[in-house]
Amino acid sequence: MERGHVRPGLGVHRLHDARGRGLTLRAWRERPGGSRSLELVLDRTPCYAESGGQVADRGELSGGHARARLEHVYKEGDRIVHRVALTAGTRDELIEAGRRGALAAVVPASHRLPTMRHHTATHLLHASLRSTLGTHVRQAGSLVAPDRLRFDYSHFEAPAREQLASIEQVVSEWVLANREVHTEILPLEQAKQRGAMALFGEKYGAEVRMVTVDGVDDLGIAPSLELCGGTHVRRTGDIGTFALVSDSAIAAGVRRIEALCGSQAVAHFKAQQSALERAASVLQVTPAALPEQIEKLRDELASLRKAHAEAARGGLESEMQGLAARAVVAGAHRWVVARLTAEGDSNAARDAADRLRGALQSGAAVLAIASGGKTMLLAAVTDDLVVAKRLDAAALVKAVAQVTGGSGGGKPHLALAGAKDPSKVDAALDEARRLLEEALGS
């Protein structure tokens, strides 16, 4: 929402298909890129300059045989600058038309109307956030465009799903109530006394433009009053449809809502409906039965994962028991290096390795284990060797993993690492044999 400065112009907030005719050129300059790219300053304009979160208008300027596409409009001090690219005629023809006061500017309704919808909806959203979450909510930034709105606000936690539904419902009820949107220019202090919301940190002139949206008394929706110089619809019903699309954290204490209005909101709802119907078709249920079916599948998947984990754990333990029996004997110690055929996750590997440590009694092991399509390296060292500082599992697995370009770590008695290059796992295991033979003998 734009700050409420008084701005000269043609009352563009009331025009659906904004037009200005007989416009006079006050200044012009070429832009880098050649004579077909210009920046113009006119005596007046129906075009909105980017400000306060609302994007600039798009459209066309014409004069005589020359036509130019309006690419951007921005403020430069007190001037409104129109950035254009010639699409017909010459630069000189366009400039001459401007000198004669024969320029025409058009902002099509296809750009202006959806922007107006999203801007007025932003005011309603701000009011709904404050009524639902608390009056501590303040605007922290915004974007108002033809295809969407984005509103940043101060709040200390993520709103609950029910709160977001309530925020969306309040705006929707406001739209259905078709309340009038008023604009008036008045002294700043008078606007503040009437309760108008001002943006923190903004500087305002002596006079401001206040946008008031009538409330809905029977639903407990109070009027919205904000200082704003942007474009707005005449009545809330002109917004058509409102859809709150997302809410997310963007900084400490600051959140962002994105929403859609009008045809953009309708397209969003249709896309959601289509996705639901596709999902229902895949699961061979009605859309209404989707939640129950998804919960059922989730429970089945959890049971399968549990069974798979238990089977993997059993397979790892069985294979490790066999390894202990074939371990290299080095005096009072035993060690083993191997690539396991059984798969398992990190939890199953840790549990099985603890049992292997017990079977070795005094010794160490370095193992390569397949896990989820990747290779995991595990080092296990018995407690007596850890206490004697003969071996450290974390240092051992790190040195072995480096051969594959991977890394990892853990505790002195048990550590894990990832093998970045699976083709080098055998070389890594050879390095493990060398290290263990060096530390314990053979």
- CATH number of domain containing 345: 3.10.310.40
| CA–centroid distance for 371 within its chain | 32
DSSP element (H, E) containing 177: helix 161-177
253 and 360 housed in the same domain? no
Q: Is residue 303 part of a domain?
A: no
The predicted pLDDT at position 177 comes to: 96
Q: Is residue 286 part of a domain?
A: no
The amino acid at residue 163 is Q
207 and 356 housed in the same domain? no
Centre a 10 Å sphere on the Cβ of residue 185 and count the other Cβ atoms it contains: 12
The predicted pLDDT at position 358 comes to: 85
**Domain edge (last residue) among 107, 138, 171:** 107
The predicted pLDDT at position 10 comes to: 34
CB 103 within 8 A of CB 63: yes
Specify the 3-state DSSP secondary structure of 74: strand
Q: Is residue 52 part of a domain?
A: yes
Specify the pairing of strand 333-343 against strand 363-371. parallel
334 and 263 housed in the same domain? no
Q: Is residue 5 part of a domain?
A: no
Q: Is residue 295 part of a domain?
A: no
Q: Helices marked H in 383-424 — which ranges?
A: 383-387, 393-402
Say what the alpha-carbon torsion angle 347, 351, 353, 356 is, to the nearest 10 degrees: -160
Can you tell me which residue has the tokens 């029977």?
A: 218
The 10s digit of each residue's pLDDT in 128-163 is 999 999 999 999 999 999 999 999 999 999 999 999
Phi first, then psi: what are they for 146, rounded to 5°?
A: -65, -30
Query: Cα–Cα distance between 205 and 208 in angstroms, integer?
Result: 7
Nearest to residue 108, comparing CAs of 168, 48, 157, 185? 48
The 10s digit of each residue's pLDDT in 325-356 is 888 888 889 998 988 877 777 777 788 788 88
Q: Which residue positions in the chain have pLDDT lower than 50?
A: 1-15
CATH number of the domain enclosing 33 = 2.40.30.130
The predicted pLDDT at position 319 comes to: 73
127 and 259 housed in the same domain? yes
Contacts 24+ apart (CB under 8 A), 162-169: 163/132, 163/133, 164/244, 164/247, 166/132, 167/125, 167/128, 167/129, 167/132, 167/133, 167/244, 168/242, 168/243, 168/244
125 and 249 housed in the same domain? yes
Q: Is residue 306 part of a domain?
A: no
- pTM value? 0.72
Query: Cα–Cα distance between 387 and 364 in angstroms, integer?
Result: 13
The predicted pLDDT at position 8 comes to: 33
Nearest to residue 213, comparing CAs of 121, 113, 151? 121
229 and 165 housed in the same domain? yes
The number of C-alpha atoms within 13 Å of 109 and in the hemisphere containing its C-beta is 5
Per-residue tokens: 126: 């701000």
Query: Cα–Cα distance between 8 and 34 in angstroms, integer?
Result: 31
Query: Cα–Cα distance between 367 and 414 in angstroms, integer?
Result: 11
The predicted pLDDT at position 13 comes to: 38
121 and 211 housed in the same domain? yes
CB 150 within 8 A of CB 176: no
- Total domains in the fold of the chain: 3
144 and 234 housed in the same domain? yes
23 and 117 housed in the same domain? no
Its domain, for residue 95, covers 18-107
Query: Cα–Cα distance between 139 and 201 in angstroms, integer?
Result: 11
Query: Cα–Cα distance between 414 and 268 in angstroms, integer?
Result: 51
The predicted pLDDT at position 347 comes to: 77
261 and 131 housed in the same domain? yes
170 and 201 housed in the same domain? yes
The predicted pLDDT at position 277 comes to: 93
The predicted pLDDT at position 33 comes to: 66
Q: Is residue 285 part of a domain?
A: no
The predicted pLDDT at position 404 comes to: 92
119 and 103 housed in the same domain? no
**Domain edge (last residue) among 107, 132, 162:** 107
**Domain edge (last residue) among 86, 107, 128:** 107
Q: Is residue 298 part of a domain?
A: no
DSSP element (H, E) containing 436: helix 425-440
